[in-house]
Structure 1
């Protein structure tokens, strides 16, 4: 119970802090929405215009994990999506996005790993990498 309460508080604090600093660019490969149309599995990193350091770290870990482990696999695409851009409203609505989020999806189903990402990124980035790889592979295997 205490662990769950601590996790909830950590997620709330991280979400609140997300509006307090500008984002950095990672320089890693991110497919455009149109380029990823044919991908079976899409790993979305949703963000607003402003991002906290934790949010930037989540993007870096998730994006690097996809790029390092699924490079050359046309069935997997990493997509960075600014949910505050009206052009992306359909995706924000589809996945019920209100703040920085990580969603792994196929055409028919998806998994939102945002809570786990916030809980792991600073103290257990290897665990977050493993989670991203496992969830992505789960959808590839279907």
Structure 2
């Protein structure tokens, strides 16, 4: 029984070590010492920001878009894609359905993780835009 346990520990260690080696090698783009490369190089997923809105917008709705776009451009340049989507126009049905959008919504997405900042955005876009900017920065840091 003791030999079986030791064998299992060695096997798990070997598999774990191989997996870590493959992960590190693919990030550097190098090959293993035997010339084989990892089968799946890992790609860093980009963070995307979506602001869903209707055609007619109030001053707060417009401010949410303006503050978000300004913050992303000033802090991150072109690194984070920001898209303002009119939910009343055709062409974005897949995104609207995917994120279950029914009204004005501000979300940040990375892979399968989604952060909804709608409430913070509408509370602060006009009255306290600096607070919204800080919340956007913290959200992006958390997703990075």
User: When the two structures are superposed, what TM-score results if normalisation uses the length of structure 1?
Assistant: 0.66
In the alignment, what sits opposite 1:104?
A: 108
- 1:44 partnered with 2:50: yes
Match in the other structure for 1:132: 136
Structure 1 runs not aligned, ≥5 long:
1-37
| CA RMSD between the two structures | 1.5
Structure 2 portions without partners, runs of 5+:
1-43
Count of matched residue pairs: 101
TM superposition shift of 1:86:
2.6
Judging by fraction of residues, say which structure has more helix: 2
Please identify runs of 4+ aligned residues in structure 1 that moved more than 3 A: none
Match runs of 1:1-142 below 5 Å: 40-73=46-79, 76-140=80-144
Larger radius of gyration: 2
Q: Secondary structure at the match of 2:91?
A: helix
Check whether the contact 1:62–1:129 (CA below 8 A) recurs between aligned residues.
yes
CA distance in 2, matches of 1:54, 1:66: 18
Cα deviation, 1:12-59, whole Å, max 9, x if unaligned, reads xxxxxxxxxxxxxxxxxxxxxxxxxx9610011111111111100110
1:104 is paired with a residue whose SS is strand
Judging changes above 3 Å, is the alpha-carbon distance between structure 1 residues 121 and 72 closer, same or farther for their aligned structure 2 residues?
closer
Q: TM-score, normalised by structure 2?
A: 0.66
